[in-house]
Structure 1
Amino acid sequence: MAIETAPLLGNRSTAERTTKGSGNGNGNGVEQQVKTVSVVKEFGYESKRLWKIAGPAIFTAICQYSLGALTQTFAGLVGELELAAVSVENSVIAGLAYGIMLGMGSALETLCGQAFGAGQPRMLGVYMQRSWVILLTTACVLVPLYVWSPPILELVGETTEISEAAGKFALWMLPQLFAYALNFPIQKFLQSQRKVLVIAVISAIVLVLHAVVSWLLILKLGWGLTGAAITLNTSWWLIVILQLLYIFITKSDGAWSGFSWLAFSDLWGFVKLSLASAVMLCLEFWYLMVLVVITGRLSNPLIPVDAISICMNIQGWDAMIAIGFNAAISVRVSNELGAGNSRAAKFAVLVVSVTSVCIGVIAMILVFTTRNEFPYLFTNSDAVATETTKLAFLLAITVLLNSLQPVLSGVAVGAGWQATVAYINIGCYYIVGLPLGILLGFTFAFGVEGIWSGMIGGICLQTIILIVVTSLTNWNTEAEQAESRVRKWGGSIIEQ
C-alpha cells in the first residue's frame, strides 16, 4: 500500500542549489529567503493534511460530546436538582467509565496507526476485535460502579439528595456503558485509516435526532430524567450500529475480513498496552472531573456544583477541538513512524501544536468576553449564573492550557509512550495539582476558585514536561521501534 507522505524538511529544491552555487554576494540572503519560503510551503502542506483528519475529528467529538451536554442543558431547564443529577452522573459515573473505555481503546491508535502506515491493513480488523473483547469485559467489571453509585457519591462528599438523584439516573444509563465498549475501538479502527468523515456524518445525523427527541421527551412530554436516559442511550447505540453497518458493508478497503479467532490470541500483551493507555488518559480525563467532586464537599454545595458543572460543560466543548487535533496528530505520527518517515512525524507535531495553541487563544478570549451571557444557556437561576461568571477567568485559562496538552498526549499515543506519560500525569496532577487545589480551597478558604487554581498549576507543570520530552525525542529511534512493534504484534496475521 502506498502511503502519502509530506516532503521532508531539509531537502533543497533546484532553486536553492542554484542560488548556493552562483557565487553571488547576495547568495546567502537569497538562499535564506528560499529556505523560509520552503518552510512556509511545508507548513501549509502539513497543515492541510492535518485538517483533513482534524476537521472531521473535531466535528465528531463536538457532536458526540453534545449528546450529553444537550441532555444536561434540557435537564437544567427542568430544575436545579435535575441539572445536578445529570451533571454529576455525566462528570463522575459516566465520566469515569468514559475515561477507562477511551483509554483502553486508545491502544488501537498506536497499533492500528503504525500497522496502516507500514502497509498492513489486514491487521486492523483483528486488533479491533481484540479491543472489543477487552473493553466488553471491562464494561462488565464497571457495572457495580453504576449499581452502587449513590453510596459511592456520598462517600466522596456529594449530598444525599444529589447522590440519590444521580445514582438513579446512572442505573438507567447502563446501556451507554456497553455502547462505549464497542464504539471506541470502532472509531480508532476508522481513524487510523483516515476515514474520519464517515464518523462525522454519522455523529451529525444522530445529534440532530437526539436534539429533537430530547426536547420532545424531556420538556414537551415532561418525562424528565427518564426521557433523558432513553434518548442518550438510544443515541449512543445508534452511532455504534451505523458505524458497524458501514464497516461490514464496505469491508473498509480490506481492513475488515470478518470475525476471527485471532481476536483471542496475544490478549495479555494487548491488555498491558491497553492498560497503559487507560492509565495515561484516565489520569488526564478524571483530573478536572475531580473538581466537581471536591466542590461537592463545600458548605451549601448545590449552587457551586451547578456553576462548576456549567464551566466544565463549556470546557468540555472546547476540549473537543483539542481532542480532534489529538486524534489527527496520533494518526499522523503513528502512520509516519510506521512508514519510517521520522522527520515528517516530527514536523507534524510542530504544525499541530502551533495551530492548536492559536485556536486556544481565540477560545480563551471568547469565554472571557461572554462571561456574563453564557451561564444563562444552561440555567434560569441568577444565583448559579452569578457564581459561574465569577469562575470565567479560571475557565479561560483552562481553555488555553487544554489547547496544547491533549495534542501532546496524542503525540504520546501515536509514538507509544503511554506508560511514560502515565507517570508524568501521576506526579503533576495528583502529587502537585490536586493537593495544591485542596490546600487553597479548604485550608486557605478560597473555595471553588482556590481548588481550581491549584489544579491549573498541575496542568501547567504537566504541559511543560511534555513539551520538553517531545522536544528531546529522537524520532529516528521512534521509527525503528514502530517497525519492531508492527513485526511483534502482526506476525501471525501477516503470515496468513
Structure 2
Amino acid sequence: MEEPLLVRRGESAMDAPEVGSFRDAWEVFKQESKKLWAITAPIGVCVICLYGLNSATQIFAGHLGNLELSAVAIGLSVICNFSFGFLLGMGSALETLCGQAYGAGQVEKLGVYMQRSWIILLASAIFLCPIYIFATPILKLIGQTNDIAETAGRFSLYIIPQVFAQAINFPTQKFLQAQSKVGILAWIGFAALLLHIVLLFLFLYGFGWGIAGAAAAFNISQWTVTITQVAYVMGWCRDGWTGFSWAAFKDLWAFVKLSFASAVMLCLEIWYTMVLVVLTGHLQYAEIAVGSISICMNINGWEGMIFIGINAAISVRVSNELGSGRPRATKHAVVVVVVTSLLIGLFFMFVILAARDYFPIIFTGDKEMQHAVSRIAYLLAITMVLNSIQPVISGVAIGGGWQGLVAYINLGCYYIFGLPFGFFLGYVLNWGVRGIWIGMLFGTALQTLILLFIVWRTNWKEEAEQALERIRLWGGENGYARLGK
C-alpha cells in the first residue's frame, strides 16, 4: 500500500525517527520529498495554470499595443493583486485550521470552517469593489499617466465579477488542500487555462472586443474554476462536507481575527511587488518603465506559482503533522522544503541569465521594450533566488499559525526598510528602475534571514502541543446544528 502522507491523532502518533548520520538524513530527505511532492506537484500545476490566466491575458493585451500592455499589467498587478492578496490572505486562515483539524482526526469540522471562510471572504469582496470602481482616480493619484490610468481603470471595472469568484474559490482550495485532495485542482486548473486561451482568441481576434474581451474571458475562466471546485466538494467530499450548517454563522469573530492576521501577512508580501510596479510609473518614459518591470514580474510570477504550490504543500505538511502531535516529523518537513526550494531557485536564476535576450520577445514586439527588459534581467535572476525561500517559510508560518508575528516582520522589512531604501536609490540617486528594485530586494533578503532564524529556533514540540488548543480557540468549538434542524 502507498505510505500515508500523515498519521492522524487517534491512529498512531508515533513521531519520525531521529537523524543520527548522513545516511539517516538522506533517507529522511527522500521520504519527506515524496510526501512533499505528492502534494506540491498537483497544487503547482493548478496554481501555474491559474496564473496562466493572468499571464495569457497580459500576453494577448501586449500584442494589441504598449498602452494596452501597460494598462492590463497595471490592472492585474496593482488593482487585481490588491484584492487577490487580501482575499488569499483571509482564506489562508483555513490552511491553519483545516490542516490541524485534519491532522487531529476531526475531519467533520472542515466543512463548517470552509463555510465560515466563504461568509467572511464574500463580505470582504463587497468592501473591495470600490477599489475597482474608482481605479482610474486612484491610479492617477499615485502618479500613473492619464492614458494608462484611464485604460487600466476601464479594465479594472470590467473584472469585478472575478473578485467574488475568488472569494469562494480560495476557501474551497484550502479545504481540499488540507486533506491532500489536490489532484482534482490540477485538472480543473489545466482545463480552465485551455478555456481561457480559446476565449481570448475568440473575444480579441474573433469579435475584436479589445481589453473588454480580455476582461470577459478572465471573468468566465475564474468563475468556471470556482463552480467546478464547489461542485466537486459537494459531490465527492462527503467526509469533510456534511451540508450547509448554521454553525458557519457562530463564533465568527475568532475566525475573523485569524483570517485578518493571515490577510495582513500575505498582503504585505504580495503588495510589495505591486508597489515596485507603481513606483516605476513615476519615472521618465513611464510606458517603457512600467512595461519592462511588468514583464519581469510576470516571469517572476511564473516561478512564484511553483513556490506557491510548495508554500501550500509545506503548510499542509506542517499543520497536519502538528495536529498529529509529531514535532520531529514537522522539523524534518521544514528542513527538506527549504533545501529543495533553494536548489530550484538557483536553477531558475541560471535560466534567466541565459535567456535574458530572448524571453522578452514572448511579451512584446517592440525592440525598445525588449532591450529594457534585458538590461534589468540580472535583477530578476537575483529575485528568483530570494523568492524561492521566502514564500516557503511563509507556508511554514501559516501551517504553524504564526501569521500575526510574520505580519510585523513583513511590515518592518518591506515597508520600513526595503521600500524607503528603494525609493532613495531610484529617485534620490537617480538609479531608476534598477535602484527601486535593488532597494526592495534588500528588504526581501532581510525578511528571509529573520524568518529562517525564527524557524531554526522554534520548539516544534511546544507547537504541536498548542495545535489542538488553537483549533478550539480559533475554530469556535461550541457544537453546531445542521440547517433545517
Q: TM-score, normalised by structure 1?
A: 0.93
**CA deviations over 1:234-287 (Å, ceiling 9, x no partner):** 00000011111111111x141000111100101111111000000000000010
Q: Which residue of 1 aligns with 2:152?
A: 166
Candidates 401, 417, 433, aligned match of 1:448:
433
1:445 Cα deviation (Å)? 0.3
Q: Which residue of 2 aligns with 1:89?
A: 75
Candidates 38, 49, 66, aligned match of 2:24:
38
**C-alpha separation between the residues in 1 aligned to 2:77 and 2:55?**
11
Residues 418, 442 of structure 2: 8 Å contact kept = yes
Change (3 A) 1:162 1:495: closer
1:7 Cα deviation (Å)? 6.1
Residues 246, 480 of structure 2: 8 Å contact kept = no
1:160 Cα deviation (Å)? 0.7
**C-alpha separation between the residues in 2 aligned to 1:52 and 1:253?**
22
Percent identical across equivalent pairs? 53
Q: Which residue of 1 aligns with 2:96?
A: 110
**C-alpha separation between the residues in 2 aligned to 1:8 and 1:194?**
20
1:487 Cα deviation (Å)? 2.9
Residues 340, 483 of structure 1: 8 Å contact kept = no
**C-alpha separation between the residues in 2 aligned to 1:494 and 1:115?**
16
**C-alpha separation between the residues in 1 aligned to 2:139 and 2:267?**
19
What does 1:109-148 align with in structure 2 at a 5 Å threshold?
109-148=95-134
Does residue 10 of structure 1 match 2:9? no
Which residue identity does 1:425 align to in structure 2?
Answer: N
1:209 Cα deviation (Å)? 1.1
**C-alpha separation between the residues in 2 aligned to 1:161 and 1:487?**
52
Structure 2: 5+ residue runs without aligned partners? 1-5
**CA deviations over 1:20-43 (Å, ceiling 9, x no partner):** xxxxxxxxxxxx7xx322221111
Q: Which residue of 1 aligns with 2:3?
A: none
Q: Any idea what SS the aligned residue of 1:491 has?
A: coil
Residues 123, 493 of structure 1: 8 Å contact kept = no
Q: Which residue of 1 aligns with 2:403?
A: 418
Q: Which residue of 2 aligns with 1:68?
A: 54
**C-alpha separation between the residues in 2 aligned to 1:397 and 1:2?**
38
Q: Look at both structures and tell me which one has the larger radius of gyration over its CA atoms.
A: 1
What does 1:428-447 align with in structure 2 at a 5 Å threshold?
428-447=413-432
Q: How large is the RMSD of aligned CA atoms in angstroms?
A: 1.5
Q: Which residue of 2 aligns with 1:465?
A: 450
Candidates 237, 245, 254, aligned match of 1:269:
254
Q: Which residue of 2 aligns with 1:378?
A: 363
**C-alpha separation between the residues in 2 aligned to 1:270 and 1:223?**
42
**C-alpha separation between the residues in 2 aligned to 1:99 and 1:493?**
32
Residues 7, 13 of structure 2: 8 Å contact kept = no
1:8 Cα deviation (Å)? 1.3
Structure 1: 5+ residue runs without aligned partners? 12-31
Q: Which residue of 2 aligns with 1:482?
A: 467
How many residues in Structure 1 have an aligned counterpart in Structure 2?
Answer: 473
Change (3 A) 1:232 1:168: same
Q: Any idea what SS the aligned residue of 1:279 has?
A: helix
Candidates 280, 295, 298, aligned match of 2:283:
298
Q: Any idea what SS the aligned residue of 2:241 has?
A: coil
What does 1:77-476 align with in structure 2 at a 5 Å threshold?
77-250=63-236, 252-476=237-461
**C-alpha separation between the residues in 1 aligned to 2:431 and 2:213?**
38
Candidates 45, 50, 53, aligned match of 1:59:
45
1:491 Cα deviation (Å)? 2.6
**C-alpha separation between the residues in 2 aligned to 1:335 and 1:271?**
22
Residues 245, 481 of structure 2: 8 Å contact kept = no
Change (3 A) 1:6 1:241: farther
**C-alpha separation between the residues in 2 aligned to 1:384 and 1:423?**
37
